Amino acid sequence: MILHHAPLPSGRCPRSERRGSSSPCTRSTGTVSRHPVPGHAALLLTLALLISACGPTRPLVQDAPDATPDATFPGHSVAQIVAAVGAAVAPVAAAAADGRLTVVMGGRTEDATHSLRARLTGTAADSLTLVVRGPLGIEGARALVTATEFVAADRINRRLYVGPVTAAERYVPGAGSPATLARAVLGLLAPDPAEAWTVTPTDSTYLLRAPLAVGGTREMTVDPALWRVVRVRDFDAGGALVGEQEASAFDTVDGVVLPRRVRLRAGADEAVFEHRSLGVNPADLRLRFTRPTDYEIIDLP
């Protein structure tokens, strides 16, 4: 997700209090110029391009589920936990979300609005589009993530960022594989049954741990009342935290429990999605992305 350090439009509105809460670039003309891509910016997807217009605030959760763990807690096995989370998120094959977006980067906090559409079929067709808008609903950027590619069109500076989806791993840990970024933004992550998980019960959750193929460790915190992953943390081989994803403000949407607040953090940078409108398996889901032909192309490593 591409963030720019260019001046942002005027018209900043006061933030409302929330609840719970360099690779070479090739121009399309074929000439080559040196245009460094900020190392911390490439996959928080144009989130701070524009400052959003002020909007009315209202309670984020309107139908919060009231659930408690079953009598087996805290005695579930790893296999039971992994299967339960997988079954709980399986009904979501597609989703639509619209709402507010807050990005913290380089000591600055910016607000915008987002519109997200995703297919989560578990196949090579998995894909996501994300539109970021600023004042008066003016579109500032649009991005497409597929099973193999990340593309973002910066409509303000007329630049097209292109790279492999694996580049996402450096900016949103765990997002460098098909559909994982979409599931992270929607709060639908689930432990991979193929991983060598161990489990430690806490007062109200299960803490799963597994080694990462690249070295280090992944931790997933599972709420057994909802059978949802509420936090993911990645640590490098030295034990330093390198990325974190949190889901909260759970709501019942179309019969499925989903979080309305998702926080993604990589290093000192973070993005917080507040999904004010959510739809599960919408019949008219459309992923709209037209690749511009007259933009400067910037290749992401």
Residues 92-136 pLDDT 10s: 999 999 999 888 877 888 888 999 999 887 655 568 888 888 766
How much is the mean pLDDT over the chain? 77
Specify the pLDDT at position 171.
52
Tell me whether residue 18 is in a domain: no
pLDDT band at residue 211 using 50, 70 and 90 as cut-offs: very high
Unique residue bearing structure tokens 């002020």: 54
CA distance 61 to 176: 30
pLDDT at 41 over 50: no
Tell me whether residue 146 is in a domain: yes
Tell me whether residue 3 is in a domain: no
Tell me whether residue 60 is in a domain: no
Q: Which residue in 62, 87, 76 sits closest to 190, CA to CA?
A: 87
Q: Greater confidence, 187 or 15?
A: 187
Tell me whether residue 135 is in a domain: yes
Residue 132 structural domain:
25-54+69-299
Domains identified in the chain, total number: 1
Give per-residue burial for 26-64: e unless 16+ CB within 10 Å, then b: beeeeeeeebebeebbbbbbbbbbbbbbeeeeeebbeee
Provide the 3-class DSSP secondary structure of residue 12: coil
pLDDT at 170 over 60: no
- CATH at 82: 2.50.20.10
Unique residue bearing structure tokens 């008219």: 284
- pTM, whole model, 2 decimals? 0.76
Distances from the Cα of 286 to the Cα of 52, 86, 119, 130, angstroms: 24, 25, 9, 12
Tell me whether residue 15 is in a domain: no
CA distance 67 to 50: 39
